[in-house]
Structure 1
């Protein structure tokens, strides 16, 4: 693992269903295998020193999937929280979630909220599960909150700048994404972290998520470490030492 780590790593975990279909299994078996990879990659990320790990676990669009698959995914989330909470706590990981939590089944939501509360004092890596999440939905939710405050007279147009807008995002303490990984060979963003990925480095791999390994993460981070991040500046500006 190179010394230049992304502070915030985000992953679009894609390909569970196709992984299973390729092996003649039901799609749900791919999701089950994918949860095992979540545990391993989360622990490894914490071990190597990544500060924030955001995993695209369930999108707003995923609610449109067949009801039995959605129900299975919610049960998988329940099982993950029950089985892995002690591991999360013992590894000093702080669990959080981003998305429209009110849409989750009540039992699942309460279990998730309890796990988040129990890990809230941990000071290690933040594991952010994007659940019932959409990048456009997040921005719409920000706009609605701002519109309500403007209606009440507590917000003026001149108050709004980038930092102010960011303070209304889900989990505003989480910084912009440095490296975004997508598995399965698809080369699109799929409505994930639209605000925070403005200057992210993008990494695409043909591996399905259930096949994604620690070595694959090392390769992605090695690619990130070799890139020049200019944020709109020129290479000369980046290379020039700051004047006193």
Structure 2
């Protein structure tokens, strides 16, 4: 008798391939980023039907500042427009939005829009959408360790009690469950500094599809494949022996 199949509670996505998608069509990279932003809405709306409660998307990494000034400026403008345009729809559809990453390098207007969207949707519970913006896994851990060290220095935390259950309380994702499934689009098979601590036991799917072509049907197929996996978290399935 097999174990009951279960959909992932938390799916994280590295949304890769916008630039290549645009270039294949002879268009500038920002055209692909706009197409990718539109695809987010479809995947968010599909989550409840697939049993996915939490969705985390990698929108802009700490390394993405190395791109051309034109592309970076265009992306920041896109983020501002996306938040402004989608805010009320996200609220009305029961989506709670959170942002993770270091906000200090982002412009003040964008920071204000992020804060407003979080407050606007804070009572929602249908889908928890987390947007990683100016986010890097190593940067997140470094910031968490700094806050932990400050608490130790202030006498708020005993260093002898620090263990692997302590650090997660200082991470950007402290109120979220760890991801069960991480998907990366565009054919690249690397994790690119995304949710390094949180994904220690996540299942991974690396697919060739470029992000603007990633639709709800494909999302459902990947969720179904996840449900068939045997997740033992280091233990042994004695029933199979």
Q: Within 1, Cα distance between the matches of 2:50 and 2:226?
A: 15
Partner of 1:136: 138
Partner of 2:93: 91
Q: TM-score, normalised by structure 2?
A: 0.95
- Count residues in correspondence: 238
Question: Is 2:153 aligned against 1:151?
Answer: yes
SS in 1 for 2:98: strand
Deviations 1:211-237 (A, max 9, x none): 101111011111101110000001216
1:1-244 superposed matches below 5 A: 4-236=6-238
Q: 1:78 to 1:47 in 2, by over 3 A?
A: farther
1:69 to partner: Cα distance: 0.6
Deviations 1:57-111 (A, max 9, x none): 0000011111111111111111111111111111111000100011111101101
Q: Within 1, Cα distance between the matches of 2:107 and 2:17?
A: 24
Gaps of 5+ in 1: none
Deviations 1:139-195 (A, max 9, x none): 001111111122223222222122221111103110111000000000000000001
Q: 1:59 to 1:125 in 2, by over 3 A?
A: same
Q: Within 2, Cα distance between the matches of 1:191 and 1:107?
A: 27
Q: Within 1, Cα distance between the matches of 2:84 and 2:155?
A: 44
RMSD, matched Cα: 1.5
Q: TM-score, normalised by structure 1?
A: 0.94
Q: Within 1, Cα distance between the matches of 2:110 and 2:5?
A: 38
Mean alpha-carbon deviation: is it higher for 59-68 or for 154-163?
Answer: 154-163
The answer to whether the Cα contact below 8 Å between 1:95 and 1:128 also exists between their aligned partners in 2 is yes
The answer to whether the Cα contact below 8 Å between 1:46 and 1:93 also exists between their aligned partners in 2 is no
Deviations 1:29-59 (A, max 9, x none): 0000000101111111144331110000000
The answer to whether the Cα contact below 8 Å between 2:101 and 2:140 also exists between their aligned partners in 1 is yes
Gaps of 5+ in 2: none
SS in 2 for 1:95: strand
Q: Within 2, Cα distance between the matches of 1:194 and 1:171?
A: 12
Q: Within 1, Cα distance between the matches of 2:227 and 2:125?
A: 25
